[in-house]
Amino acid sequence: MRPTRRSDRADVRRPEVGRIAEIRSAADTPTRDRLLEAAMDVFAAKGYHAAAVDDIVAASQTSKGAFYHYFSSKQAIFVTLMDALGALLEDGIEAAIAEERGALAKVEAALGVVLETAEARRDLARILLIEAVGLGPELEAKRLGIHRRFAGVIRRHLERAVEEGSIPPQDTLLAAQAWVGALNELITRWLAEGRGRLGARLPALRGFLLRSIGAAGRGATRARRSRGAAAPRVRRNAGVRR
Protein backbone atom coordinates (compact mmCIF):
# COMPACT_ATOMS: atom_id res chain seq x y z
CA MET A 1 0.00 0.00 0.00
CA ARG A 2 2.78 2.34 0.87
CA PRO A 3 5.47 2.73 -1.76
CA THR A 4 8.43 0.52 -1.06
CA ARG A 5 11.42 2.23 0.36
CA ARG A 6 14.77 1.55 -1.05
CA SER A 7 16.32 1.19 2.35
CA ASP A 8 15.82 -1.51 4.93
CA ARG A 9 17.59 -3.92 2.70
CA ALA A 10 18.68 -6.07 5.60
CA ASP A 11 20.95 -8.03 3.35
CA VAL A 12 22.52 -5.47 1.12
CA ARG A 13 25.79 -3.76 1.56
CA ARG A 14 26.21 -5.37 4.89
CA PRO A 15 29.18 -3.63 6.32
CA GLU A 16 28.26 -0.04 5.59
CA VAL A 17 29.94 0.60 8.88
CA GLY A 18 33.46 -0.62 9.14
CA ARG A 19 36.28 -1.73 7.00
CA ILE A 20 34.68 -2.14 3.71
CA ALA A 21 33.09 1.24 4.01
CA GLU A 22 36.56 2.65 4.32
CA ILE A 23 37.38 1.28 0.96
CA ARG A 24 34.23 2.06 -0.96
CA SER A 25 33.76 5.55 -2.20
CA ALA A 26 32.74 7.40 0.91
CA ALA A 27 30.43 9.58 -1.13
CA ASP A 28 28.27 6.70 -2.13
CA THR A 29 25.26 7.40 0.03
CA PRO A 30 26.64 10.00 2.36
CA THR A 31 23.37 10.84 4.02
CA ARG A 32 22.61 7.26 4.86
CA ASP A 33 26.13 6.78 6.16
CA ARG A 34 25.92 9.88 8.27
CA LEU A 35 22.70 8.65 9.75
CA LEU A 36 24.21 5.29 10.61
CA GLU A 37 27.23 6.85 12.21
CA ALA A 38 25.12 9.21 14.22
CA ALA A 39 22.82 6.39 15.22
CA MET A 40 25.79 4.42 16.46
CA ASP A 41 26.98 7.30 18.58
CA VAL A 42 23.61 8.12 19.97
CA PHE A 43 22.54 4.56 20.69
CA ALA A 44 25.86 3.87 22.37
CA ALA A 45 25.61 7.02 24.44
CA LYS A 46 21.99 6.94 25.50
CA GLY A 47 20.68 3.48 24.82
CA TYR A 48 17.95 2.44 22.49
CA HIS A 49 14.95 3.92 24.22
CA ALA A 50 16.49 7.11 25.42
CA ALA A 51 17.79 7.79 21.93
CA ALA A 52 15.24 9.83 20.08
CA VAL A 53 15.10 9.85 16.33
CA ASP A 54 15.52 13.58 16.70
CA ASP A 55 18.82 13.00 18.45
CA ILE A 56 20.09 10.91 15.60
CA VAL A 57 18.89 13.44 13.09
CA ALA A 58 20.55 16.26 14.97
CA ALA A 59 23.80 14.35 15.36
CA SER A 60 23.83 13.45 11.69
CA GLN A 61 23.16 16.95 10.46
CA THR A 62 20.49 15.63 8.19
CA SER A 63 16.72 15.71 8.63
CA LYS A 64 13.82 13.68 9.84
CA GLY A 65 12.75 13.22 6.28
CA ALA A 66 16.14 11.84 5.33
CA PHE A 67 15.98 9.46 8.25
CA TYR A 68 12.68 8.01 7.19
CA HIS A 69 13.73 8.04 3.61
CA TYR A 70 16.50 5.58 4.37
CA PHE A 71 15.09 3.69 7.31
CA SER A 72 11.53 2.74 7.84
CA SER A 73 11.68 3.11 11.59
CA LYS A 74 13.91 3.59 14.56
CA GLN A 75 14.02 -0.14 15.00
CA ALA A 76 15.03 -0.58 11.38
CA ILE A 77 18.10 1.59 11.72
CA PHE A 78 19.02 -0.24 14.88
CA VAL A 79 18.78 -3.57 13.13
CA THR A 80 20.89 -2.26 10.28
CA LEU A 81 23.42 -1.09 12.80
CA MET A 82 23.47 -4.43 14.59
CA ASP A 83 24.03 -6.15 11.28
CA ALA A 84 26.81 -3.80 10.35
CA LEU A 85 28.55 -4.07 13.68
CA GLY A 86 28.10 -7.81 13.80
CA ALA A 87 29.57 -8.05 10.31
CA LEU A 88 32.48 -5.85 11.31
CA LEU A 89 33.24 -8.15 14.18
CA GLU A 90 32.87 -11.25 12.11
CA ASP A 91 35.11 -9.89 9.42
CA GLY A 92 37.78 -9.24 12.01
CA ILE A 93 37.43 -12.74 13.34
CA GLU A 94 37.56 -14.34 9.93
CA ALA A 95 40.65 -12.38 9.06
CA ALA A 96 42.39 -13.37 12.27
CA ILE A 97 41.40 -16.98 11.86
CA ALA A 98 42.68 -17.07 8.33
CA GLU A 99 46.13 -16.13 9.57
CA GLU A 100 46.39 -19.14 11.82
CA ARG A 101 46.97 -22.75 10.95
CA GLY A 102 45.94 -25.01 13.81
CA ALA A 103 42.33 -25.25 14.90
CA LEU A 104 43.18 -24.27 18.45
CA ALA A 105 45.25 -21.38 17.30
CA LYS A 106 42.35 -20.20 15.20
CA VAL A 107 40.01 -20.34 18.11
CA GLU A 108 42.45 -18.45 20.29
CA ALA A 109 42.82 -15.84 17.60
CA ALA A 110 39.06 -15.34 17.47
CA LEU A 111 39.06 -14.85 21.19
CA GLY A 112 41.73 -12.21 20.97
CA VAL A 113 39.93 -10.32 18.23
CA VAL A 114 36.79 -10.08 20.26
CA LEU A 115 38.57 -8.51 23.19
CA GLU A 116 40.57 -6.24 20.94
CA THR A 117 37.50 -5.10 19.10
CA ALA A 118 35.59 -4.44 22.27
CA GLU A 119 38.47 -2.42 23.61
CA ALA A 120 38.95 -0.45 20.42
CA ARG A 121 35.26 0.07 19.86
CA ARG A 122 33.42 0.52 23.12
CA ASP A 123 30.41 1.77 21.20
CA LEU A 124 30.20 -1.40 19.20
CA ALA A 125 30.50 -3.50 22.33
CA ARG A 126 27.95 -1.46 24.19
CA ILE A 127 25.43 -1.63 21.40
CA LEU A 128 25.76 -5.33 20.73
CA LEU A 129 26.11 -6.52 24.30
CA ILE A 130 23.96 -4.14 26.29
CA GLU A 131 21.68 -1.87 24.35
CA ALA A 132 20.45 -4.61 22.04
CA VAL A 133 19.17 -6.70 24.93
CA GLY A 134 15.54 -6.79 25.92
CA LEU A 135 14.19 -4.87 22.93
CA GLY A 136 11.46 -7.32 22.12
CA PRO A 137 11.21 -10.57 20.22
CA GLU A 138 12.32 -9.25 16.88
CA LEU A 139 15.51 -7.62 18.02
CA GLU A 140 16.12 -10.40 20.48
CA ALA A 141 16.09 -12.84 17.59
CA LYS A 142 18.56 -10.72 15.70
CA ARG A 143 20.82 -10.51 18.71
CA LEU A 144 20.74 -14.24 19.28
CA GLY A 145 21.49 -14.76 15.62
CA ILE A 146 24.70 -12.81 16.01
CA HIS A 147 25.61 -14.75 19.12
CA ARG A 148 24.81 -17.94 17.33
CA ARG A 149 26.96 -17.09 14.37
CA PHE A 150 29.89 -16.26 16.58
CA ALA A 151 29.43 -19.41 18.65
CA GLY A 152 29.17 -21.32 15.39
CA VAL A 153 32.61 -20.19 14.31
CA ILE A 154 34.10 -21.24 17.60
CA ARG A 155 32.32 -24.53 17.58
CA ARG A 156 33.45 -25.34 14.08
CA HIS A 157 37.06 -24.95 15.04
CA LEU A 158 36.63 -26.80 18.29
CA GLU A 159 35.28 -29.69 16.26
CA ARG A 160 38.38 -29.54 14.09
CA ALA A 161 40.53 -29.48 17.16
CA VAL A 162 38.81 -32.64 18.32
CA GLU A 163 39.43 -34.21 14.93
CA GLU A 164 43.05 -33.09 15.04
CA GLY A 165 43.35 -34.69 18.45
CA SER A 166 44.30 -31.38 20.06
CA ILE A 167 41.46 -31.71 22.55
CA PRO A 168 39.34 -34.59 23.73
CA PRO A 169 35.88 -35.27 22.34
CA GLN A 170 33.28 -33.12 24.06
CA ASP A 171 30.08 -31.14 23.78
CA THR A 172 31.49 -28.45 21.54
CA LEU A 173 28.17 -26.68 21.23
CA LEU A 174 28.01 -26.13 24.92
CA ALA A 175 31.65 -25.15 25.07
CA ALA A 176 31.20 -22.58 22.34
CA GLN A 177 28.14 -21.10 24.00
CA ALA A 178 29.87 -20.96 27.33
CA TRP A 179 32.81 -19.17 25.77
CA VAL A 180 30.53 -16.61 24.23
CA GLY A 181 28.87 -16.09 27.58
CA ALA A 182 32.17 -15.74 29.37
CA LEU A 183 33.36 -13.14 26.90
CA ASN A 184 30.08 -11.33 27.12
CA GLU A 185 30.30 -11.13 30.89
CA LEU A 186 33.88 -9.94 30.96
CA ILE A 187 33.30 -7.26 28.39
CA THR A 188 30.06 -6.12 29.94
CA ARG A 189 31.72 -5.63 33.31
CA TRP A 190 34.61 -3.86 31.74
CA LEU A 191 32.19 -1.53 30.01
CA ALA A 192 30.44 -0.79 33.26
CA GLU A 193 33.53 -0.32 35.33
CA GLY A 194 35.12 1.75 32.67
CA ARG A 195 38.71 1.35 33.77
CA GLY A 196 41.58 -0.98 33.20
CA ARG A 197 42.67 -2.67 30.04
CA LEU A 198 40.46 -5.40 28.83
CA GLY A 199 43.38 -6.96 26.99
CA ALA A 200 45.14 -7.45 30.27
CA ARG A 201 42.76 -10.21 31.11
CA LEU A 202 43.37 -12.05 27.90
CA PRO A 203 46.13 -14.37 29.14
CA ALA A 204 44.16 -15.51 32.17
CA LEU A 205 41.05 -15.89 30.09
CA ARG A 206 42.91 -17.85 27.46
CA GLY A 207 44.24 -20.21 30.08
CA PHE A 208 40.83 -20.62 31.60
CA LEU A 209 39.11 -21.30 28.31
CA LEU A 210 41.76 -23.67 27.01
CA ARG A 211 41.55 -25.58 30.24
CA SER A 212 37.81 -25.75 29.90
CA ILE A 213 38.14 -27.68 26.66
CA GLY A 214 40.93 -29.88 27.93
CA ALA A 215 43.71 -28.10 26.08
CA ALA A 216 45.62 -26.75 29.05
CA GLY A 217 49.21 -25.81 28.48
CA ARG A 218 49.07 -26.63 24.81
CA GLY A 219 48.52 -23.12 23.57
CA ALA A 220 51.21 -22.85 20.93
CA THR A 221 50.15 -19.50 19.67
CA ARG A 222 51.15 -17.28 22.48
CA ALA A 223 53.91 -15.55 20.59
CA ARG A 224 51.65 -14.72 17.72
CA ARG A 225 48.89 -13.32 19.82
CA SER A 226 51.19 -10.88 21.55
CA ARG A 227 52.04 -9.59 18.14
CA GLY A 228 48.41 -9.18 17.51
CA ALA A 229 48.08 -7.14 20.63
CA ALA A 230 50.80 -4.83 19.42
CA ALA A 231 49.09 -4.27 16.08
CA PRO A 232 45.44 -4.47 16.84
CA ARG A 233 43.16 -5.59 14.07
CA VAL A 234 40.67 -2.86 14.64
CA ARG A 235 41.86 0.64 15.13
CA ARG A 236 40.47 2.43 18.14
CA ASN A 237 37.24 4.08 17.26
CA ALA A 238 38.02 3.57 13.66
CA GLY A 239 36.06 1.81 11.06
CA VAL A 240 33.01 3.92 10.74
CA ARG A 241 33.76 6.24 7.94
CA ARG A 242 36.17 8.84 8.95
Partner DNA sequence: AATGAATGAGAGTTCATTCAT
Partner DNA sequence: GATGAATGAACTCTCATTCAT
Residues that bind a second copy (CB under 8 A): 2-3, 47-50, 54-55, 57-58, 130-136, 140-141, 144, 147, 170-171, 174-175, 177-186, 188-189, 192, 201, 204-205, 207-209, 211-214, 216
Helix ranges restricted to H, 47-198: 53-60, 64-70, 74-99, 103-120, 122-126, 137-164, 172-193
Residue 171 binding partner per list a second copy, DNA, none, with a CB distance cut-off of 5 to 8 Å that depends on partner kind: a second copy
CB 226 → a second copy: shortest distance, Å? 18
Amino acid symbol at 216: A
The one among 14, 19, 32, 126 contacting DNA by CB under 7 A: 32
CB 25 → DNA: shortest distance, Å? 13
Q: Which residues contact 128 (CB under 8 A, 6 or more apart)?
A: 82, 85, 86, 89, 143, 146
User: By CB under 7 A, which span of 27-35, 116-124, 125-133, 193-201 interacts with DNA?
Assistant: 27-35
CB 212 → DNA: shortest distance, Å? 41
Amino acid symbol at 203: P
Residue 30 binding partner per list DNA, a second copy, none, with a CB distance cut-off of 5 to 8 Å that depends on partner kind: DNA
End-to-end CA gap in the chain: 38
Taking CB under 7 A as the rule, does residue 51 contact DNA?
yes
The nearer residue to a second copy, 21 or 151, going by C-beta atoms, is: 151
What is the rounded CA–CA span in Å between residue 130 and residue 134?
9
The one among 13, 69, 201, 241 contacting DNA by CB under 7 A: 69
The nearer residue to DNA, 2 or 227, going by C-beta atoms, is: 2
DSSP structure string for 91-131: HHHHHHHHH--SHHHHHHHHHHHHHHHHHH-HHHHHIIIII
Burial status of residue 10 (CB atoms within 10 A of its CB: 0-12, 13-18, 19 or more): exposed
136: three-class secondary structure by DSSP: coil
The one among 22, 31, 130, 199 contacting DNA by CB under 7 A: 31
CB 205 → a second copy: shortest distance, Å? 6
Taking CB under 7 A as the rule, does residue 14 contact DNA?
no
Taking CB under 7 A as the rule, does residue 10 contact DNA?
no
